[in-house]
Structure 1
Amino acid sequence: MEDVKVFNFKAVGKGVLVGTVSVDLGNGISLHECKIVGKDDAELRASVPQRLQRSKGNSTYHDMIEFTDKSVWDRIEAQILSHYRGLDTAS
């Protein structure tokens, strides 16, 4: 995962949604709209792109992709959060 590049941060600041980023996996695949969520820095998490399904007043989010090896996403998530924290300290 050394070739992973995080880019295109867009601040949202709505509820616990901090913002979104794009991730170039370095193998010809890019993920867009990965979310950064959390109330504060200690609780920050990242999520894969999701779609929203609304039915009878309820909202449900469904992951659009899945990493069958959880450790792969864990490494990508760590890079997303590191990128975000680097942006935060640069301001």
Structure 2
Amino acid sequence: MLGGGLILYKLIWIGAGDIKYAVILSLTIPFDDLLLAYILTAFSGGILAVTYLMSKKLIRENARYQEGIPYGIAISIGFYLVILTQSTPHI
């Protein structure tokens, strides 16, 4: 996961801190629940991106300035939903 994340970082698709955070959270859940965690992270990231872009359009700040979306929030939501809803006795 870390190797794939570093490739995504090199392509400037995701930040290095988000990769490290996702890798550490991947170690906290069983291997069988990883796919569900990634899917929930993607859905929460999509919702986060839509709300973030809508709020930027409503504020109408400098339209030419591109800023990244804080994806750590989506990573947290996706992984913690799996941690709280699945039976993980080791946590």
Relative contact order, higher structure (CA 8 A, sep 6+): 2
Whether these two folds match at TM > 0.5 is: no
TM-score (norm 2): 0.30
Bigger CA radius of gyration: 2
Q: Comparing both structures, which one devotes a greater share of its residues to strand?
A: 1
Query: By percentage of residues, which structure has more helix?
Result: 2
